[in-house]
A and B are shown apart, each in its own frame.
Chain A
Amino acid sequence: MIPPPYEYLNPNQLSEAISLLQKHGEEAKILAGGHSLIPAMKLRFALPEYLIDISGIEGMDFLREEEGQLRIGAMSRESSLEESELISEKYPLLLDTAKMIADPQVRNMATVGGNLAHGDPANDHPAAMIALRARVVVEGPNGSREIGIDDFFTDFFTTALQNNEILTEIKIPAAPPNSGGSYQKIERKVGDYAAAAVACQLSFDAGGTIQQIGIGLTNVGPIPLRSNSAEDHLRGQIPDDSLIRESGRLAAEDCDPVDDLRGSAEYKRDLVNELTQRAIKISIERSERGS
């Protein structure tokens, strides 16, 4: 399949990329790794007049912890999460998620920023970022602003990003001691979108009580979802089997799946129930309390 014709632009500076976005408006799309956009262009789902390739802009591909935050440059490739010692030591939820995205070659191109900015409720990073309570940094003509992850996904394939803004960075509160996380995904085969998936991140206080908890749900609604009721049920509690079982049930109530080729809505609700319980249990095991 041959993608439709378009004009290729490759700015070296972020400011130049933003000027190009201002100039071309809705006719332009940002090209990051291209692994959602190019397939969409081949199928004529996307017909941009201009592509602004931001891979040549320096300083957008980084991964570091500073001032109590994990900072991920939007152009970080999925494979760099997989290969990072910091991520495998302190952020098992992000490691789990990166490993479950597509396949190794796709992960060499696909970017963390692109996975979020595409706004696809079937993508895997959104639920993980919801569980981690991330903030998204976007840059536009009037400077940069931060958007809480809960305000970022506004509708089906729609985000809070304006036409003249570029997602530059993801900021995540640094994992406190005694924390753990997990991403549990059921896919029909390698590289498929989730039939359903659940991200969990939690931390304990010294007494073994759950202090912070985040639970994000993939591909069971028009946007990536947070299960507020499952989180509320566990926060401030010392988790046991019955609390975890009830959290699974509550998460299944919070989601809004539809019947499709990956299964019936009823099946997906059951998956969310089970995967929520698994994600919580594995997160506990991975925290110091569990080990």
Chain B
Amino acid sequence: MSKHTVTIEINGSSITREVDSRLLLVHFLREELVMTGTHIGCDTSHCGACTVLIDGRSVKSCTLFTMQANGKSLTTIEGMETEGKLHPLQEGFHQEHGLQCGFCTPGMIMRAAELLDKNPNPTEEEIRWGISGNLCRCTGYVNIIKAVQYAAEKIQKEAT
């Protein structure tokens, strides 16, 4: 089987490894790097639990070969906290009870991060549309939306 060298900047650190062509990005993160914050839910690009950011864009890491991320900059849930301080989205999920079992949460947060980056003050409708590629089996969407709204307000307040 063919091996290739990949270099990916993950949460600010450059990481180089030899990987198989067929190694999926989510398996690279979870098994090679033992970064298990990114979850595998459906494994069929429907549920969004495996969402990470590549160059700021949210993608489903179960449907990407590691090679496709070569040379790119990746952010995972582990990279959201900075200097011991939770990201406003993480804080929002905590404050608004935006999770029950928590399985979908890393994907929800990574997806919402891109959403707020592009649209800092989304309507409820825009948030619902924005997280339409993420499933919560506990069906706790109401509080997830409140969590995103909390983060949007906090980010805006911090900016002023």
The interface stretch among B19-27, B97-105, B142-150 is B19-27
How many of A's residues come within 8 Å of B, CB to CB? 29
Q: Which residues of B contact A3 (CB under 8 A)?
A: 22, 24, 65
**A106 CA to B111 CA, complexed, in Å:** 11
- Contact A6–B57 (Cβ < 8 Å): no
Interface, chain A (partner B; CB < 8 A):
1-8, 10, 31, 34-35, 38-39, 42, 51, 53, 55, 79, 83, 102-106, 108-109, 190-191
Among residues of A, the one whose C-beta sits closest to the C-beta of B58 is A105
Q: Which residues of A contact B115 (CB under 8 A)?
A: 104
- Contact A34–B68 (Cβ < 8 Å): yes
Q: How large is the interface on B (under 10, 10 to 19, 20 to 34, 35 or more residues)?
A: 20 to 34
- A-B pair number, CB within 8 angstroms: 86
Q: Which residues of B contact A1 (CB under 8 A)?
A: 43-44
**A157 CA to B70 CA, complexed, in Å:** 30
B45 located at the interface, meaning its Cβ lies under 8 Å from any Cβ of chain A in the complex: yes
- Contact B68–A55 (Cβ < 8 Å): yes
Among residues of B, the one whose C-beta sits closest to the C-beta of A109 is B59
- Contact B4–A8 (Cβ < 8 Å): yes
- Contact B22–A105 (Cβ < 8 Å): no
Q: Which of A51, A83, A191 contacts B21 (CB 8 A)?
A: A51
Q: A104-B111, A190-B132 are in contact. Are A109 and B24 (CB under 8 A)?
A: no
Q: Which residues of A contact B27 (CB under 8 A)?
A: 2
**A111 CA to B67 CA, complexed, in Å:** 18
Q: A8-B2, A34-B68, A109-B59 are in contact. Are A104 and B130 (CB under 8 A)?
A: yes
